[in-house]
Structure 1
Amino acid sequence: MADKSDPNDLFQDAIGKQTEMMQKLFGTFMSSGRMQTPPMFDPSSLAGMDAPQDMRQNIKGWAEVSAKLQKMWLDFQNDQRLSVEAPIAVVDPMQWAGAMQDWFGQMPLTEPEKQKELWEESLQLWQTVLGRYGIGPEAMNETETELPRTDRRFKDRRWSDQPAFALIHQTYLLIAERLDAMIDEMEGLDDAKREQLRFATRAVIEASSPANFAATNPIVLERTMETKGENLVRGMEHLITDLKKGQLTHTDPDAFTLGENIAATPGKVVYETPLYQLIQYSPTTEEVLETPLVIFPPWINRFYILDLNPKNSFIRWAVEQGVTTFVVSWKSADESMADVVWDDYILAQIDAINHIRERLKVPSVHAIGYCVAGTTLAATLAILHRRKEEKKVKSATFFTAQVDFSKAGELLHFIDDQQLAGLETLTPKGYLDGRYMAAAFNLLRGEGLIWNYWVNNYLLGEDYPAFDLLHWNGDVTNLPAKWHRDYLTDLYRDNKLVQPDAMAADNTPIDLTKVKTPAYVQAGKEDHIAPAESVWHITDHFEGPLRFVLAGSGHIAGVVNPPSSGKYQYWTNENKVSSLEEFKAGATETAGSWWPDWIEWLQSQDNTKVPAKGKRKPGGRGDKVIEDAPGRYVKKR
């Protein structure tokens, strides 16, 4: 999957090209009398100075910066040569250009007629743009005429103040627009391949944005002149740090400490296995619901997405509602987990359910499954029903979880035979390094999760923000290679889970149509990881009473939306409907968080309460526990 070109050669080549572009651009600015002088070259800034001497000082300063950058990069190269283990190859969006090269070659852009059309349209665009500045045959008296195309990446006035930068980004937007349109014109593509090509094209287009290059980004150029290149030095420091750790940094790595200002809801680890730790949280009410709650978070992420801070912690909020709350903290995979498969995660869920029942002496639990753990919870319920043990789970809640993967969205682009074969080369020790998965998920939203930070971190040299959600996003977990491969092939590619008895776990066939457990299904309206249309299809298979709720926002914000935030909304429909579109057409919109709707539904399953004492208070007299929450497993890298 990774680009096999020498990254050092690629970097040096990119630096050389950018330097050449910058020299040409500066030359254009300084030699063209028809272009306004950029703010960073404002002659008034030299007032009262000996200009020749200042120039000499500037030249000397730039030489020092250049030497510093070169030394930093050479030192990094030397460190890598001496390193026993090479750094992980972070997924490069430009790899899609190579992976899809045959399809790109068939795009209509290669046809002479299409090239002619694009050239003519480009000429017209340039005349229109230059006319805005009083240049050329289409010169306008009003210089504030809107540019033909808009994009939030270029909303800063510096992209439109100068005709050079206006031409650069307007031409880029035109080409991007035409490339996207041409995908629809290609013949001989099935829908899946067309969408994969669209995804690959978008990745390449995003990577090629003029905003991502110092020489073509006026904001970066201005910052560079203001700081005399120190932003580039800081940016190089950030880049080298990220290359060494093999991961893009989004937030201040020292801003958060687990158990102190993140994942800090009080509780105890009351049970553990080689695969997971079970955390029980301390009650804050005198009485609690008799039936406890166990939350199964996805093992591709850390559980504390549901416990970021006191204001947005679902876990803390559930405890405050009088719910005895347990959470599973999955262990990040290592070599000892090379043989872990789906059966192990299903058995772990059943084990956690049984342990809680025995610990609190209750017949059943409420269960929540988030994302892939929700997919697994569906299989767990099917197995319990097949074994006549379904009463162990009183209700099941699904956060953005899929069981039918026919409409699974953009992640389907990663599961063709070429991509799956590539995964084999990334898992020599029996597990997939979580940094690969993080890079893949970032690629789904490249503009917001890659290139925005590329510009801020590496080109502008800005300090990192302290943002708990971004901290969690970068706190990656490793995945068992065998199960990860089976997950992509059996579920995403072959969609076996919705085929009765096509899959089995612990020698028990799985048939979702046997599930009659009351279910609450939450989907995110803008979810690109588990699209709402895909999540909806759980309603086609479960036979028990089911409440479907469509929440505003996406895969994370759609779930982590406390009532106190006052954000977003959710939709419900009390009528019997057969499709998501029908659901939407008759839905009632409610402002704010869907959490109160969920707790009301949970209480309606059984509102019996008991005193919050004994083992309802983990770590009390006579209760042997392992350690304080959030436990060791969540800290293991």
Structure 2
Amino acid sequence: MNDQAQAGITGEEDDSAVDPRSASHSLDRHLHAQMARFTRGLAPAALMLAWADWAMHLATSPEKQGQLVSKAFNKAMRLQRFLLSCARNEGCGESCIAPLPQDRRFNGEAWKEWPWNFWSQAFLLNQQWWHVATTGVHGVSAENERQISFLTRQLLDMWAPTNFPWSNPEVLAATRAENGMNLVRGLMNLVEDIQRNAEGRPPVGTEAFQPGRDVAVTPGKVVFRNRLIELIQYSPTTGTVRPEPVLIVPAWIMKYYILDLSPQNSLIRWLVSQGYTVFAICWLNPETVDRDLGLEDYRELGIMAALDTIGAITPEKVHATGYCLGGTLLSIAAAAMARDGDDRLASLTLIAAQTDFTEAGEIRLFITESQVAFLEDLMAERGYLEAREMAGAFQLLRSNDLLWSRVVRDYLLGKRAPMTDMMAWNADATRMPARMHSEYLRHLFLDNDLAEGRLIAAGRPVAIPDIVAPVFAVGTETDHVAPWKSVYKLTLDADAEVTFLLTNGGHNTGIVSEPGRANRHYRMATHHVGEPWLDPDTWIEATPVHEGSWWPAWEQWLARHSSPPGPPPRMGMPRTKPICDAPGTYILTR
């Protein structure tokens, strides 16, 4: 009996004949894409699987259940003792639980008075109980435990007493003082924000920070352009410059002018003033037609094309500098260059950039197989991922600071926080091509191919240990995108001399740290080839703190790896006029 007849008898079909682009597959993809738009890119299946894993293991863990009952009883007793203390002290009893250090919601004096202190204490005790309930359940996978704990925390934060006018004493005081006008202004703010979001317009106040007029104003020229990048060369401001130029590679998920904000806090302007020739890549903001641009395209059309252009302007080696995922891409390019005997790099600086993603922080909560497949279906329809969908994930990581505090301030107190250059830049995000986004999520986050020597560049695998140029790596203490301990792992993986610097601040605020800015400090130490490795906790204890900005320390390191100053190079390539003035045209696309 032939295979076709056998299939007819059994009712089975040949799965190998199913085209993944068939109507049924397209229907699945379309359904997932519509769901993703409603859920802001979060995969319901991933959350349901995490909940099922936790719930089933908890249901078969009587000892854990008993522990939770005991803790609930103890917390009820603590709250009761707090109430008695409040009664004896006329409403201002001694707290029975303190917020976490990063939780500033209940810092106001009003929260220390009755009955608001009761609401805050009850909320914090409840939050602590749920943390115990969602962690330490035997048998639950670490990934699912992180997801269910995170989801529970988000739900609790949504119902915090600070978020409602009747349970927030600061909102009630403002309402009484203003006869409710704060709520009127808040409603107007809400309507305006909804309208702007529906029209795809940026937040209120961003109009005061236009690239090329208010920010990104360091003088320079666009000296090269292809379908993916514009390369900017900045005009010298000193009579002599270091021969080795600096190439800045930003992440493709952000616009480069985070390093060229206002003149007073522009890293690029400051670096030029220190006697360096600076080049910066500005990535294209992709459209549907760019859906098939991948990691290799970004390496070849981005970094390698920029290095070729710089080589036509000056024959000197280059101080290559990458920020965030731009640093990750730069490390791929540097490893491929070292493998192939290309010695055009004088040094490598990686700013808040990871090369090993095993400890990539809470952002991994949104990067599971289910989640990535969900996003791929969303991107397949339009060819790219919207910036606001990625921004939504980052907002959830710091929902108290970036989401709920704004709800209270803008909509309940009726106050608009003054727009800053960094806030305006943060609202000016870029899209990501479907292929690029899928490849970096899978190859870097899910499979960790770069750290494990499987990532392919120019047809062959690359390895971080191949890099021989001296490396300067920067981490920030409170980085929730690239945790500093993850960035620090480069000192373990690289075979080159690695100087690691840890500065205070977050992913962006720690990097934009101009000299003279108050409350800045850093630690710095160099790991030489052959020296014993220090784990992160030992390193931070053994490394002294220096007050001030980290920028001068980096410049001094660059100077040690540079030649004596000489005349500035020409502006642009030989026999070719610069294309236009900085900041170019790609930066202006939304």
What is the TM-score normalised by the length of structure 1?
0.79
Q: 1:113 to 1:600 in 2, by over 3 A?
A: closer
Give the equivalent residue in structure 2 for 1:212: 163
State the partner residue of 1:194. 145
Which segment drifts farther, 229-238 or 337-346? 229-238
Alpha-carbon shift at residue 396 of structure 1 (Å): 0.9
Distance 1:566 1:362, change over 3 A: farther
Q: Which residue of 1 aligns with 2:98?
A: 150
Aligned to 1:516: 468
- Distance in structure 1 (CA, Å) of the matches to 2:374 and 2:263: 41
Residue 541 of structure 1: CA displacement? 3.0
Amino acid at match of 2:557: W
TM-score by length of 2: 0.85
8 Å contact kept, 1:499–1:511: yes
- For residues 172 and 564 of structure 2, what CA distance do their matches in structure 1 show? 65
Change beyond 3 A, Cα 1:566–1:141:
closer
**Which structure is richer in relative contact order (CA contacts within 8 A, separation 6 or more)?**
2
User: Which runs of structure 2 are paired with 1:215-614 in the superposition (5 Å)?
Assistant: 215-244=166-195, 245=197, 252-347=205-300, 348-358=302-312, 360-389=313-342, 391-427=343-379, 428-500=381-453, 502-574=454-526, 576-578=531-533, 579-612=535-568, 614=570
Is the aligned partner of 1:101 residue 2:51?
yes
Conserved in 2, the CA contact under 8 Å of 1:523 and 1:535?
yes
1: CA distance between counterparts of 2:174 and 2:563? 61
For 1:608 and 1:212, locate their aligned partners in 2 and report how far apart those are by CA, in whole Å: 59
Moved more, 277-286 or 504-513: 504-513
Whether contact under 8 Å (1:404, 1:498) holds in the other structure is yes
1:600 CA drift (Å): 1.4
| Pairs within 5 Å for 1:64-103 | 89=38, 91=40, 100-103=50-53
Give the letter aligned to residue 305 of structure 2. D
Note the residue ranges of structure 2 that are not aligned, 5 or more in a row. 1-33
Secondary structure in structure 2 of the residue aligned to 1:145: coil
The answer to whether the 8 Å contact 2:246/2:278 transfers is yes
Q: Secondary structure at the residue paired with 1:287?
A: coil
Q: Give 3-state SS (helix, strand or coil) of 2:482's partner.
A: coil
Quick one: distance in 1 between partners of 2:264 and 2:119? 44
Whole-Å separation in 1 of the counterparts to 2:517 and 2:68: 51
Deviates more, 1:224-233 or 1:360-369: 224-233
Residues 94 and 207 of structure 1 are in contact (CA less than 8 Å); yes or no, is this contact kept in structure 2? Answer: no
Give the CA deviation at 1:295: 0.1
Q: Please give the residue correspondences for 1:122-137 in structure 2 after superposition, counting only pairs within 5 Å.
A: 123-134=76-87
Q: Deviations over 1:114-146 (max 9, x none)?
A: 675466445434533433443xxxxx1454332
Q: Separation in 2 of the partners of 1:339 and 1:236?
A: 43
For residues 141 and 605 of structure 1, do their structure 2 counterparts lie closer, same or farther at Cα, with a shift above 3 Å needed? closer
Indicate if the aligned counterparts of 1:97 and 1:201 stay in contact, CA closer than 8 A. Answer: no
Quick one: which amino acid aligns to residue 340 of structure 1? L
Residue 171 of structure 1, aligned match among 89, 110, 122 = 122
- Name which of structure 1's ranges 143-152 and 559-568 shifts more when overlaid on structure 2: 143-152
Q: Is the 8 A contact 1:90 1:436 kept in 2?
A: no
Q: Per-residue deviation at 1:334? A: 1.0
- Does the C-alpha gap of structure 1 residues 468 and 93 become closer, same or farther in structure 2, counting only changes over 3 Å? farther
Label 1:160 to 1:606 Cα distance change in 2 as closer, same or farther (>3 A): closer
User: Unaligned 5+ residue runs, structure 1?
Assistant: 1-84, 135-139
**Conserved? CA contact 1:268–1:279, under 8 Å:** yes
1:154 alignment partner, SS class: coil
Identity %: 33
Q: Is the 1:561–1:567 Cα contact (8 Å) retained in structure 2?
A: no
* 2-structure distance, mates of 1:90, 1:473: 22
Work out whether 1:184 is the aligned partner of 2:132. no
Q: CA deviation at 1:580?
A: 2.5
SS of 2:489 mapped into structure 1: helix
Cα distance change, pair 588–121 in 1 and its aligned pair in 2 (3 A):
closer
Distance in 2 of aligned mates of 1:571 and 1:102: 44
Larger mean Cα displacement after TM superposition, 392-401 or 256-265: 256-265
Q: Aligned-pair RMSD on alpha carbons? A: 2.9
Give the 3 Å change call, closer, same or farther, for CA 220–250 of structure 1 in structure 2. farther
Tell me the secondary structure at the aligned position of residue 523 of structure 2: strand
- 1:404/1:495 contact within 8 Å kept: yes
Q: Deviations over 1:472-529 (max 9, x none)?
A: 11211101111111111111111111222x1212323312222111211112222221
Deviates more, 1:502-511 or 1:323-332: 502-511
For the residue of structure 2 that corresponds to 1:555, the secondary structure is: coil
Aligned residues: 541
8 Å contact from structure 2 (residues 68, 133) kept in 1: no
Q: For the Cα contact (< 8 Å) 2:321–2:350, is it kept in 1?
A: yes
Task: Assess if the C-alpha contact under 8 Å between 1:291 and 1:606 holds in 2.
Answer: yes
Deviation for aligned residue 1:261:
2.0
Q: Distance in 2 between matches of 1:337 and 1:131?
A: 65
